[in-house]
Structure 1
Amino acid sequence: MEATREIYWNVGHGVVLPMYLFTAVCFAIFAYGFYQRFPMYRLGKELNRLDQLPKRIYLYLRGVFTQSKVLRIPEPGTYHGLFFWGFFLLFIGTLLIMVQADFSDPLMGIRFLKGTFYKGYSLVLDIAGIVAIVMLAGLAVRRFVKPPEGLETIIDDYLIHVLLFAILVTGFFIEAARMAVTEVKVNPDLARFSPIGLFLAGSFAGQSAATVEQTHRILWWVHFFLAISFIAAIPFTKLRHIFTTSTNYLLVDLRTKGSITTLDLEDENAEQFGVAKVTDLAWKDVFDADACTTCKRCQDRCPAYATGKPLSPMKVIHQVGHLAQTDPAGSLVKEVTEEVLWDCTTCRACQDICPADIEHVNKILDMRRSLSLMDGAFPGDEVRTAINHLEVNGNPFGSAYATRGDWTAGLDVKIMAEDSDVDVLYFVGCYASFDKRNRNVARNFVTILNAAGIKVGILGKEEKCCGEPPRKLGNEYLYQSTANENIERIRHYGVKRIVTTCPHCYNTLLRDYRDLGLESDFTVEHHSTLIQELLEQKRIALKPESFLFTYHDSCYIGRYMDIFDQPRSVLDACGGSLAEMEAARKDSFCCGAGGGRILAEEKIGTRINVARVKMAKEAGAPLLVSNCPFCLTMFEDGIKTGGLEGEMASRDLAEIVAERLV
């Protein structure tokens, strides 16, 4: 007997017309539901997110079918991923039935659901169905029985789980009823290829064929109406993320990670700088609210939220969506609150872990711009003082311009105004120029360059803050004024290679200054990658000395620039043994200084730097190594305030290398 089955067994082909009529109504409701949401998306400003379409299509297909973003966190990522693949295979199986029964067979006499292919088809769908049920059960336990802290559950969640369970279970019992009559005794060899259906067919044992057939007909229609109800409910419930989340993979920002739109501050027609209400956002920012799955991964990774601050990136996205639906002209800043906006360290952990490609950070920065440029607001008086110092002295400490190069005493460093014949320009930054602890890092780094025979120069009193801290606090005007002065100096000296020990300067010079017209015909490097290059080229030699350390991935080197292996390679060459922290590489925990927070006091909850130092302590190493002046400053303070003096020490990578130079 050939391996196949009658597709409309027991219900007859008479169901085809009403089935398609009901399906058409279902899709009309589905389309209307999404059509209703388009006006909300259009509240935002125009933004082109369909450029580089081939690349976007590739990212879309990769994101949807590999579930790679979902699987970043094994639990519940594995549940969700396996459920998706199982349900997707069942969907494909249904489409194949439709193609044969309603098109290829009646129109061309072609039947492909037969023989070996049908056996494999049956087995795959049974496995896919049971996997989907088991994974859905796991997700249900996580949400309703043992929910993690902070996971929001609404009526939609109950509806979705009940609908999906009902669809999957009725599907299996329809199969079981059919098999009880047509396969279990008649064709047992074929029944073995539907193991779940075969098992459930036992529940119909002892019942008459007529009774089983009647049950089958009822279940067939119940299953059908459950399926089309599920589709119709998608745009009206959280289920809409099935389409909005996947669409977000197509609409992803293709600029360099961390890019910020540069404001035209000379636009005389501009009435608003930054974002004060929903209509100041781009349409993609509003769409993000619909793409959010409320999985709270962003909230779990947020260092501010983890240390008791009111900031929840997930809640910010929800507030954008809520205001877009209820009061688009209302104050978004008031809805989110200033306190929440100032808490962000711009570490980008939220965006990195988000399975929906939602863009949290720039929304917060745009609201900060409104606070700073339109309202003159600051996180605190200490920040106001630092900003005033930046405006007057070009650094947040208020130190005189003339003292910016004092740290170079006794070193082979050229001042560009006196001699610009150099191999590299070292853009020192404010902390390495004026902070005693970080001056030692600068001196050690120059020592390494000298050992490699590299002629190094600095701008000295001509250098100003790169402008990153005020920019991340929303003060675009101060950023652009200081940046333009630095750009003018760099152009004047015809610099072709810049190196910096500060990741914040590195990101700003490499990426942000391009928007202000800085030419792209020169390189910008971070000292960790340059040192590795010098080691590979054997331009410096080290005498390894063993030491145990743990390494902190600075947000602006790690998540922003994907520089993870090079610093570890350098420390390995120094003789170090790495005790990795649990929160490392892309999952690293912020030091608390980013987003301009280096200038602000931390007044709410526990201190982020103390939390990070404790993580380092738990790794079991007495030495915490970083490669950022902000991180070093925060860790020095965190060790003291965390009560770990004498147990932990913090050092920069350059200090360790310089000590081992031959």
Structure 2
Amino acid sequence: MEYTREIYWNVGHGAITLIPMYLLSLTAIGVLVYAFLQRSKIYKQGQTLNRTDQLPLRITTMIKNVLLQSKVLNVRGPGAAHALFFWGFFILFLGTCLIFLQADFTDLFFGIKFLKGSFYLFFSLILDIAGLIAIIMLIGLLIRRYIVRPAGLENKKDDFIMHGLLLLILISGFLIEGARIAVTEIGTPLAAWSPVGLWVAKALYGMGEPAVRVLHSNLWWLHLFMVVIFIAIIPFTKLRHIFTTSANYLLTDLGPKGRVPTLDMEDEEAESFGAAQITDMSWKDIFDADACTSCKRCQDRCPAWATDKPLSPMKLVQQLGDVASQNPTANLAETITKDVLWACTTCRACQEICPADIEHVNKIIDMRRNLVLMEGEFPGEEVTTAMENTEVNGNPFGLAFASRGDWAAGLPVVTLEENRDVDVLYFVGCYASFDKRNQTIAKAFIQLCDAAGVKVGILGKEEKCCGEPMRKMGNEYLYQMQASDNIEQFKNYGVTQIVTTCPHCFNTLNKDYRDLGLDLNVTHYTEFLANLLQQGQLKIQSQPFDCTYHDSCYLGRYNDIYQAPRTLLQAAGATLTEMAKSGAESFCCSAGGGRILADENIGTRISEKRAQMAADTGAPTLISNCPFCLTMFEDGIKGAELDGQLQSKDLAEILVERLA
């Protein structure tokens, strides 16, 4: 016998079946398309933004993330369950398409049947397994959502409706298959290739053929109605992310990662800067709200949320969507609240973990820009003072710019004003220039370079703050003023390579300054020294010690530099015990986003929570690679009462102690 089956068994393949089936299906698809066209009007309220460049790369990225569920699988547990459910449901969808292709096209018009023989046997087995996996995973996700109820996971009525409808569609599909097998396949070798359907068939077999046929016919039409309803209501529920999240992979920001768009501060036609209303944001910012799956992964990773601040990246994105659809003229800062906007450390943990490629950070910066540039508001007087100091003296401390290079006295380093014949320009940054604790890192770096035979120059009094804290706080004007002065000095001295010990300076000079005309090789000192070590220029003696290491946000998540610092630690003899949150999941120190300039008055201190994570490893030393991190950890260790149990050091200090 040839292994196959009658596709429209018991319901008929005539007009009485096909006409209503296709009318219902096309109506549902029409409703879906019309509803999304209506929603597109909401997106169009936003400013223009080109996200169709490099289309082949975008399409490849979308296919990879959709079919392989790469982003979803970043989180174990619910991520794996969602991916398995998707794959199961997707296989069922493909199987249904093949059935319709044969029954209503190839067989109907050309007499060609491909669902037969060995192919049909494996087709039946794979669809049964896929359906079973989809049901198990969906039940697991329902239990998690409605019984386990993880903190922060919000449940809405349409969540229950869509999850319930999906489960009924899957279960009714197996009941339909079981009814057919009970009449046509029980006792034949074919039945074994549909194991779940066979199990259902055995349960129905005792009803008798007439009753099973009636059950099959009624369930077939009910199944069709449920599928049609499901398709039609997708745009009106959270499950619109089936389409919008997939599209978001196509529309993703192709980099460089973490780059902040540069405002044209000379635009005389601009009525305002930053985002005061939803119409000031890009259409992609609005679209992101529809792509959000409300999975709360961003919220779970947010250091502000974890320390009782009012900021939830998930809720912020959802609020922007509500404003766009319900009240487009609303003031964003008042709707979202200023405490929420100022709480962000721009650590990027939300974006890195987001399975929908939503861009949280720049939305916040855009709203901050409007508060600062148009309203003159800052989160506190201390920030206002730091801004004024930077504008006058080129540093947030208000110290004399002429003393910026005093830390280097007696060290083998020159200012470019004295001698521009150097191998690299060391962009020192404000903290290493003026803060006594961080000056030790600058001195250690110079000693390491000298030991490796590298001639280092600095700008000294001609260097200004890179402007990054000011920019992330929303003061784009002050940032561009500082950046332009620095770039002018780089060009004046013919600088070709810059090294920084500050990840914030590194990220800003390497990415953001390029919009303002800088095109130089910029390196963070961890990669620079790791390269010298590999080439044999830098000799480090291994002296065993125990430590834990903090991946700073702007070196790790912003620039994917994780291995170079660990290579240096290994060379120094470190026994490294990783914290519970490390690598791409590292927990912020609290200084990013300009928060280094601001007091932390809401909730518990982020730096204390991170210091406690370090202490929990049992290691006596917390190693960092960033002056902001080191500063926050010094305070965090004291605040968490960990003095004597934990000390904070920079990687450069460890290395200089072990110079051969």
| 20, 23, 26: which one aligns with 2:22 | 20
1:259 aligned residue = 259
2:87 aligned residue = 85
How far did residue 137 of structure 1 move? 0.5
2:161 aligned residue = 159
2:616 aligned residue = 618
| 42, 45, 58: which one aligns with 1:43 | 45
How far did residue 205 of structure 1 move? 2.5
How far did residue 34 of structure 1 move? 0.8
Do structure 1's residue 202 and structure 2's residue 186 form an aligned pair? no
1:225 aligned residue = 225
1:627 aligned residue = 625
Deviations 1:200-250 (A, max 9, x none): 112213222111101100010011111111111111111100000000000
1:404 aligned residue = 404
Deviations 1:334-366 (A, max 9, x none): 111111100000000001100000000000000
Cα separation, 2, equivalents of 1:82 and 1:421: 60
Q: How does 1:487-636 map to 2 (within 5 A)?
A: 487-518=487-518, 520=519, 522-636=520-634
How far did residue 500 of structure 1 move? 0.6
How far did residue 402 of structure 1 move? 1.6
Q: Secondary structure at the match of 2:35?
A: helix
Deviations 1:80-111 (A, max 9, x none): 00000000000001001001100001111111
| 81, 99, 102: which one aligns with 2:101 | 99
2:111 aligned residue = 109
2:140 aligned residue = 138
- Aligned partner of 1:292: which letter? C
Deviations 1:379-428 (A, max 9, x none): 10111111111111111111111211111122111011111111111000
2:657 aligned residue = 659
Cα separation, 2, equivalents of 1:401 and 1:237: 57
Cα separation, 1, equivalents of 2:581 and 2:120: 48
How far did residue 35 of structure 1 move? 1.5
1:61 aligned residue = 63
Do structure 1's residue 467 and structure 2's residue 482 form an aligned pair? no
2:450 aligned residue = 450
Q: How does 1:219-368 map to 2 (within 5 A)?
A: 219-368=219-368
Cα separation, 2, equivalents of 1:542 and 1:282: 50
1:123 aligned residue = 125
Cα separation, 2, equivalents of 1:40 and 1:151: 26
Cα separation, 1, equivalents of 2:388 and 2:225: 66
Deviations 1:258-309 (A, max 9, x none): 1111111111110010000000000010000100000010111000000000
- Aligned partner of 1:533: which letter? N
- Aligned partner of 2:589: which letter? C
Q: Secondary structure at the match of 1:308?
A: coil
Could you tell which deviates more after superposition, 588-597 or 415-424? 415-424
Deviations 1:421-452 (A, max 9, x none): 11111000000001011000000000000001
- Aligned partner of 1:546: which letter? P
- Aligned partner of 2:536: which letter? K
How far did residue 161 of structure 1 move? 1.2
Could you tell which deviates more after superposition, 19-28 or 169-178? 19-28
Q: Secondary structure at the match of 1:269?
A: coil
Cα separation, 2, equivalents of 1:47 and 1:430: 35
- Aligned partner of 1:539: which letter? Q
Cα separation, 1, equivalents of 2:385 and 2:23: 69
Could you tell which deviates more after superposition, 168-177 or 612-621? 612-621
1:33 aligned residue = 35
Cα separation, 2, equivalents of 1:538 and 1:329: 62
Moved over 3 A (4+): none
- Aligned partner of 1:103: which letter? F
Give ranges in structure 1 of 5+ residues lacking alignment. Answer: none
1:483 aligned residue = 483
Q: Secondary structure at the match of 1:206?
A: helix
Q: Secondary structure at the match of 2:207?
A: coil
1:174 aligned residue = 176
- Aligned partner of 1:173: which letter? L
- Aligned partner of 1:96: which letter? L
Over the matched positions of the two proteins, sequence identity in percent amounts to: 60
- Aligned partner of 2:568: which letter? V
Deviations 1:463-504 (A, max 9, x none): 110000100000011001111111111100001111010000
- Aligned partner of 1:208: which letter? G
How far did residue 505 of structure 1 move? 0.4
Cα separation, 2, equivalents of 1:508 and 1:270: 25
How far did residue 255 of structure 1 move? 2.1
- Aligned partner of 2:410: which letter? G
CA root-mean-square deviation: 0.7
- Aligned partner of 1:363: which letter? K
TM-score for both structures, normalised by structure 2: 0.99
Q: How does 1:634-649 map to 2 (within 5 A)?
A: 634-649=632-647
Cα separation, 1, equivalents of 2:293 and 2:260: 25
